[in-house]
Amino acid sequence: MLRTILSVSGKPGLYKLISQGKNMLILETLDAAKKRVPAYSHDKVISLGDIAMYTDDEEVALAEVLESVKTKENGAVASVDYKKASAEELHAFMAEVLPTYDRDRVHTSDIKKLIQWYNILVSNGVTEFVPAATKETTEE
């Protein structure tokens, strides 16, 4: 599911891939407006499925981190207000979600973006972050 959810550098929020043309992508905002916007070849577009977070050992896929946040928050919107929380509160939240995260390479802004993206996804009914096949193999 996260493969079709995109982040566009310089534009706030998240977008769902609707279609692609010769030199652009057609995206739809993941908010109440559901506004369609183009993303051109010069825009930096990345799929949430391709993002990972640094840990002390290796990188962990964003889908697994989002799943961990969902477990911590019982599927509800994050209890931490990323706009008002202090850096210490954000790092404490991250330590609960991903205890082995790399404190040197994961910045406060990264944690804010993680919480913001999680809230956007949950608010729009996207709650399956890890594909079912992957869940079964990790639980065994």
pLDDT digits (tens, 9 = 90+) for 78-90: 999 999 999 999 9
Question: pLDDT per residue over 103-121, tens digit each?
Answer: 999 999 999 999 999 999 9
Helices (H), ranges, 14-131: 62-72, 87-97, 108-123
Q: Does domain 51-135 have CATH number 1.10.10.1650?
A: yes
Domain 2-48 adopts which CATH fold?
Answer: SH3 type barrels. (2.30.30)
- 91 close to 111: Cβ distance less than 8 angstroms: yes
Distance separating alpha carbons of residues 71 and 83, to the nearest angstrom: 22
Domain boundaries, the chain: 2-48, 51-135
pLDDT of residue 129: 86
Single pTM value for the model: 0.87
Domains 2-48 and 51-135 share a fold: no
Which pairs count as long-range contacts for 94-102, CB under 8 Å and 24+ apart, including other chains? Answer: 96/72, 97/65, 97/68, 97/69, 97/72, 98/53, 98/55, 98/60, 98/65, 98/68, 100/55, 100/56, 100/57, 101/53, 101/54, 101/55, 101/56, 102/54, 102/55, 102/56
